[in-house]
Amino acid sequence: MAASCQSRDPSSSRGVGLVEASTSRESTCLIGGLGSYENGISARHELLQTIWELRKHITDLESKQVESARLTARLRETMEQSHNKISSLRSRIRRLESMLQASASSCTPDPPAASYTQAASSCTSKDGDNCCPLQLFVEQCLGSDNVIYLVGGNNGTKFLPDFDSFSPSLDVLTPLRSMSSPKSYVAVAALDGIIYVAGGYDGSWFDTVECYDRTKDEWTLQPSLTCEKGCHSGVSVDGKIYVLGGKNFSDYFSKVDMLDPLLGKWIDYFPMLEQRSTFGAAALNGAIYAVGGYDGTKYLSTGERLDMREPYWKKIPDMKTIRGCHSLAVLNDKLYAVGGYDGETAISSVESYDPRMMRWVMEEPMKCARGYLATAVVGTSLYAIGGVITDNDLILDTVECYRDGSGWTNTGLKAMGRRCCSAIAL
């Protein structure tokens, strides 16, 4: 028995070894399987991450493609507009040259052809009477809607009586008949194509009012204001001229004077809620707006509105910026308060007011800070003209242009020269 048992021991031992070997192989396979499973999970995670990144990249590319398509369409439109503008300008230049040649032939035997301004001057006799209608020189070719009238002002050396027609599209300045005397800080308004200039300053304050008739190149005296003053504003509404606020040596005014050309005299109208000088005023949709300025003690951010159907002024929301010595213009049924002085320095900021929304919105600032500037709107363009850098009283010779959606650009226009003046476009 013992022998038989011993004879089976090797078999038993071998069987145990086989079981252990099998178990070992199964363990190895299991461990290997677990490793493969973990590697698979990691690979799947990396693959999903890659797919997510690719999808995000595709989305970004699609967004850029849409933006590129939009910009391309806009560039094509701009190029088409530029092409049309260039063709129009070339046609206008040819018409100007033809007009100059005809005018020169009738006025002088050998006029200088290098300058439109020189040619215009050469057709004016010594007593100031034009021998041909060159006061409409630019307007006949461009239309009065495409020129800006520059009124008086200061060039850094002296006060000016100058009255000029300025064409931004051609960078042409055409001198017209000068005012009766040099003056700055005037109120300017237009009614039925006639330009009214009231008050002003040349070291003394004026109460005189004169109007310019473009068809005759002629100034005519009008009834004087009720007092001497300047730094005021003028607007026209419903066939009447309004002169608002202002100052003189002793007073700051809230008063409003109204001129009815049919009556031929100034009438006291409803006064503003606050005294204002060097402020901005404009007419929009039958209402008069007055904003900012200086009241004799401080610069203002307040604004007010006079609806001609109501006999009193109402406050409107304050501007976001205190400012005086600025300009107020109307573009696309909104008011634009441009530049000015905040009590410490000249500012470049611009804000707009939409009467329908009844709030001010900050817009893109000008390239250059400036106070005592002039603004005028020609077509869809708002021009900021000249002015003063108040830190060193430098009078500027630059013109900036604002278009809704495009912002401000330096025009590079130089015909105007260095000037701080008033301006109006009809």
Q: Indicate if 246 and 171 belong to the same structural domain.
A: yes
Task: Please state, in angstroms and rounded to a whole number, the distance separating the CA atoms of residues 293 and 357.
Answer: 23
Residue 94 falls within a domain, yes or no? Answer: no
| Mean pLDDT, residues 301-305 taken together | 98
pLDDT score for 66: 86
Q: Indicate if 161 and 269 belong to the same structural domain.
A: yes
With 60 as the cut, is the pLDDT of residue 221 above it?
Answer: yes
92-101, 221-230, 405-414: least confident range: 92-101
Between the alpha carbon of residue 236 and those of residues 184, 187, 240, the distances in Å are 20, 11, 6
Q: What are the structure tokens assigned to 227, written together?
A: 């007092």
The whole domain housing 409 covers 126-424
Q: Indicate if 59 and 158 belong to the same structural domain.
A: no
pLDDT score for 183: 97
Residue 410 falls within a domain, yes or no? Answer: yes
Q: Indicate if 358 and 249 belong to the same structural domain.
A: yes
Task: Please state, in angstroms and rounded to a whole number, the distance separating the CA atoms of residues 247 and 253.
Answer: 6
With 90 as the cut, is the pLDDT of residue 38 above it?
Answer: no
Between the alpha carbon of residue 406 and those of residues 333, 364, 401, 402, the distances in Å are 17, 10, 10, 7
What is the count of structural domains for the chain? Answer: 2
| Mean pLDDT, residues 136-156 taken together | 76
Q: Indicate if 235 and 353 belong to the same structural domain.
A: yes
pLDDT score for 78: 73
Q: Indicate if 57 and 202 belong to the same structural domain.
A: no
Please give the full DSSP string across 286-337, using - where no structure is assigned: TEEEEE--B-SSSB---EEEEETTSSSEEEEPPPSS--BS-EEEEETTEEEE
With 70 as the cut, is the pLDDT of residue 240 above it?
Answer: yes
Task: Please state, in angstroms and rounded to a whole number, the distance separating the CA atoms of residues 288 and 306.
Answer: 5
Q: Indicate if 2 and 136 belong to the same structural domain.
A: no
Q: Indicate if 205 and 320 belong to the same structural domain.
A: yes
pLDDT score for 335: 98
pLDDT score for 102: 62
Q: Which of 60, 87, 114 is the last residue of a domain?
A: 87
Q: Report residue 28: phi and psi, to 5°.
A: -65, -45
Residue 269 falls within a domain, yes or no? Answer: yes
With 70 as the cut, is the pLDDT of residue 202 above it?
Answer: yes
CB 111 within 8 A of CB 122: yes
Write the CB contacts of 308 (distance below 8 Å, at least 6 apart in sequence).
237, 238, 286, 287, 288
Q: Indicate if 29 and 175 belong to the same structural domain.
A: no
Q: Indicate if 264 and 215 belong to the same structural domain.
A: yes
pLDDT score for 44: 82
Q: How far is CA 320 from the centre of its chain?
A: 17
pLDDT score for 111: 38
Residue 378: beta bridge partners? 381
With 80 as the cut, is the pLDDT of residue 37 above it?
Answer: no
Write the CB contacts of 96 (distance below 8 Å, at least 6 apart in sequence).
116, 137, 138, 141, 170
CATH number at residue 339: 2.120.10.80
With 80 as the cut, is the pLDDT of residue 18 above it?
Answer: no
Q: Indicate if 38 and 184 belong to the same structural domain.
A: no
What is the strand order of the sheet 240-244 is part of? 233-237, 240-244, 256-260, 265-269
pLDDT score for 130: 45
pLDDT score for 91: 66
59-75 pLDDT per residue, tens: 888 888 888 887 887 77
- pTM exceeds cut of 0.75: no
Residue 264 falls within a domain, yes or no? Answer: yes
Residue 45 or residue 78, greater confidence? 45
Task: Please state, in angstroms and rounded to a whole number, the distance separating the CA atoms of residues 324 and 301.
Answer: 8
Q: What are the structure tokens assigned to 254, written together?
A: 């809230």
pLDDT score for 33: 57
Cα–Cα–Cα angle for 163, 166, 168, rounded to 5 degrees: 160
Q: Which of 87, 117, 136 is the last residue of a domain?
A: 87
pLDDT score for 131: 39
92-120 pLDDT per residue, tens: 676 666 666 665 555 444 333 333 444 44
Residue 362 falls within a domain, yes or no? Answer: yes
pLDDT score for 121: 43
CA dihedral (22, 26, 27, 31) in degrees, to 10, reads 150
The mean pLDDT value of the chain amounts to 84
Write the CB contacts of 40 (distance below 8 Å, at least 6 apart in sequence).
none
SS3 37: helix
What band does 151 get if pLDDT is binned at 50, 70 and 90?
very high
> Is the four-CA dihedral 403, 405, 408, 414 of positive or negative sign?
negative
Q: Indicate if 133 and 79 belong to the same structural domain.
A: no
SS3 277: strand
Count of beta carbons in the 10 Å neighbourhood of residue 269: 18
- Among candidate residues 358, 357, 323, the one with its CA nearest the CA of residue 337: 323
Residue 108 falls within a domain, yes or no? Answer: no
CB 309 within 8 A of CB 345: no
Residue 132 falls within a domain, yes or no? Answer: yes
**Above pLDDT 70, what percent of the chain?**
76
Q: Which of 58, 87, 116 is the last residue of a domain?
A: 87
Residue 331: beta bridge partners? 334
pLDDT score for 269: 95
On the CB side of 219, CA atoms within 13 Å amount to 18
Q: What are the structure tokens assigned to 46, written together?
A: 């990396």
Residue 239 falls within a domain, yes or no? Answer: yes
